[in-house]
Structure 1
Amino acid sequence: MLLSVFHDEVWLPSCVNLRECTMVGYESAYRRHIGPQFGFVDMADITVADVESWLAGIQSPGAARKAWAVLRAMLRKALRFGVLDVDITLRVQSPKQPYYRAPVLDARQIRTLLQGFYGHQLEAWLICAVTLGLRTEEGYGLEWSDIDLRTGVVHVSRGVQWVAGHEIVVDTKTEQSTRDVVLPRFAIQRLRELKGKGRLIGDLTPPQVARRYASWCRRNNLPYVPARNLRHSWGTTALAAGVDVAVVSRALGHSSISTTARYYLRPETSVLKDAQRKWEATILR
Structure 2
Amino acid sequence: MLFEEAVNLYWADKSKRLRGNTLEGYASAIRCHLMPAWADREVETITHDEVQAWVDELPSYGAAQKAFKTFRQIYRWIVRKEQMRIWDVTQGIELPQAPVARRQTLRAADEQRMLKGIVGQPWEAVVLLEAALGLRRCEACGVDWSDIDWRGGWVHIQRGAHWVGGSLIEYGTKTKLSDRWLKLPRWALARLRTIRGKRKAGRVRGNLSPHQIAGRFRRHCRRQGLPWVPMTCLRHSWATISLEAGVAIEDVSVALGHSTVDTCIRHYLQSFRAVVGRASDAYASAMLGVS
The 1:267–1:131 alpha-carbon spacing in structure 2 relative to 1, beyond 3 Å, is farther
Q: How do 1:99-114 residues align onto structure 2 when only pairs under 5 Å count?
A: 99-114=100-115
1:234 matches 2:238:
yes
- Equivalenced residue count is 284
Name the residue aligned to 1:256. Answer: 260
- 1:18-33 aligned within 5 A: 18-33=18-33
Q: Does 1:272 align with 2:276?
A: yes
- Structure 1 residues 228 and 194: alpha-carbon distance in aligned structure 2, compared to 1, 3 A threshold: same
In the alignment, does 2:227 pair up with 1:223? yes
Deviations 1:41-70 (A, max 9, x none): 001111112112211221122011111001
For the pair 1:11 / 2:10, whether they are aligned, the reply is yes
Q: CA shift at 1:265, angstroms?
A: 2.2
Instruction: State which drifts further: 200-209 or 174-183.
Output: 200-209
| Residue deviations 1:151-186 (CA, integer Å, cap 9, x gap) | 101011111001122111111111111111100011
Note the 1:144-223 alignment, pairs <5 A.
144-196=145-197, 197=199, 198-223=202-227
Question: Does the 8 Å CA contact 2:125/2:192 hold for their aligned counterparts?
Answer: yes
Q: Secondary structure at the match of 1:254?
A: coil
The residue identity in structure 1 corresponding to 2:221 is: C
Counterpart code for 1:175: K
Instruction: Tell me by how many angstroms 1:249 deviates.
Output: 1.5
Distance 2:255 2:192 in 1: 20
Matched, 1:77 2:81: no
Please give the alpha-carbon distance, in whole angstroms, between the structure 2 residues aligned to 1:169 and 1:252.
Answer: 19
Q: Which residue of 1 aligns with 2:66?
A: 66
Rounded Cα–Cα distance in structure 2 between residues aligned with 1:150 and 1:93 = 52
SS in 2 for 1:134: coil
TM-score by length of 2: 0.92
Gaps of 5+ in 1: none
- For the Cα contact (< 8 Å) 2:157–2:178, is it kept in 1? yes
Alignment pair present for 1:36 and 2:40: no
Q: Does 1:55 align with 2:59?
A: no
How far did residue 267 of structure 1 move? Answer: 5.3
* Distance of aligned partners of 1:273 and 1:247 in 2 relative to their CA distance in 1, 3 Å threshold: closer
With normalisation by structure 1, the TM-score equals 0.94
What are the Cα deviations for residues 94-114 of structure 1, in whole angstroms up to 9, with x where unaligned?
A: 333333222111111111111
Distance 1:207 1:227 in 2: 10
Q: CA deviation at 1:141?
A: 0.9
Supply the distance in 1 between the matched residues of 2:285 and 2:143 (Cα, whole angstroms): 48
**Among the aligned pairs, what percent are the same residue?**
39
* Separation in 2, partners of 1:25, 1:147: 32
Contact between 1:65 and 1:96, CA under 8 Å: does it hold in 2? Answer: no
**AA in 2 matched with 1:279:** Y
How far the C-alpha of 1:274 sits from its partner, in A, is: 4.1
Structure-1 residue corresponding to 2:133: 132
**SS at 2:36's partner residue?**
helix
How far 1:261 moved relative to its partner? 2.0
Q: Which residue of 1 aligns with 2:89?
A: 88
Output the CA distance in 2 between the equivalents of 1:143 and 1:66: 33
**Which segment is superposed worse, 126-135 or 71-80?**
71-80
CA distance 1:83–1:211, shift in 2 (3 Å): same
Secondary structure of the residue aligned to 1:162 is strand
Structure 2 gaps, min length 5: none
